[in-house]
Amino acid sequence: MTALATEGLSRDFGGFRAVAGIDLVLAQGARHAVIGPNGAGKTTLVNLLTGALRPTAGRVRLGGEDVTALSQHARVKRGLARTFQINQLFPEFTPVQAVTLALLEREGLTARWWRPVSAHGAVVAEARALLDSLRFAPAEMRAATRSLPYGRQRLLEIALALALRPRVLLLDEPAAGVPPGESRAVLDAVAALPRDVTVLLIEHDMDLVFRFAERITVLAQGAVLVEGPPAEVARDPRVREVYLGEPAHG
């Protein structure tokens, strides 16, 4: 079954076509990566998929449903979660508060005003359990987010998306900027994603892509250049030329 698909997805900015007729199909449980040099249209593609931007032409389908006209939050409610290339966290919240907020939203409870958050004990407990599974120490769970090391913040970025229990997860350069010493935890979290979750990875880091992805789409100048399994993509001369800049070793 198709989890996420686009048909002829395009977006113009003025006269510039940032994304030009992209067709993508992700089967349920797919591990799919989108790579491409700077300016290839990756960020615009993410924004079109999540609903932050409306396409000039084309469609986005989520689990068979046409979601092209739906807002970001409506797509999230239908099972599409994302992480951000640059952390979008709540600096003053503790990780427990932030994940609790995400869980309350998943359960559709954030319009409730007549009971304190602490009365939703099961939700708070689930937040702790989720952070625990990502190996957050108890003290880290209770610290203000802004005081955490960058690698932990990156992990919290993923935790917020996981809390939504998505069917499709969009990871926008999850390991970007994480110092080598802390990147292991982030990569482990990505590798440990449940198998039924469909994952679309937007990435710069080739190691991560080739380790994780079962299928790769290479973008160049807003269009799909090549799509296929990693080995095939790595051998493709056009990819080497456009993406790697020069003929490289396999």
Contact of 134 with 159, CB cutoff 8 Å: yes
Q: Quick check: 178 and 10 in contact, CB under 8 A?
A: no
**From candidates 14, 38, 64, 113, binder to other proteins by CB under 8 A:** 113
The site map against other proteins for 31-50 (x = CB under 8 A) is -------------------x
Contacting residue, 17, 59, 61, 120, with other proteins by CB under 8 A: 120
Binding mask 69-88 for other proteins (x = CB under 8 A): --xxx--xx---xx-x---x
Q: Cβ of residue 234: shortest distance to other proteins, in angstroms?
A: 32
| Cβ closest to other proteins, residue 76 vs residue 202 | 76
Asked if 104 is part of the footprint of other proteins (rule: CB under 8 A), the reply reads yes
How far is C-alpha 122 from the chain's CA centre?
Answer: 27
- Is position 243 an interface residue for other proteins (rule: CB under 8 A)? no
Beta strands in the chain (DSSP E): 2-13, 16-27, 31-35, 57-62, 65-66, 80-82, 168-172, 198-202, 215-220, 223-228
Cβ proximity to other proteins: between 51 and 151 the closer is: 51
The CA-to-CA distance between both ends of the chain, in Å, stands at 33
Task: Give 17 or 77: the residue with its C-beta nearer to other proteins.
Answer: 77
Q: Which is nearer to other proteins, 120 or 128 (CB)?
A: 120
Q: Under a CB-based contact definition with an 8 Å cutoff, are residues 26 and 32 in contact?
A: yes
d(CA 169, CA 205): 18
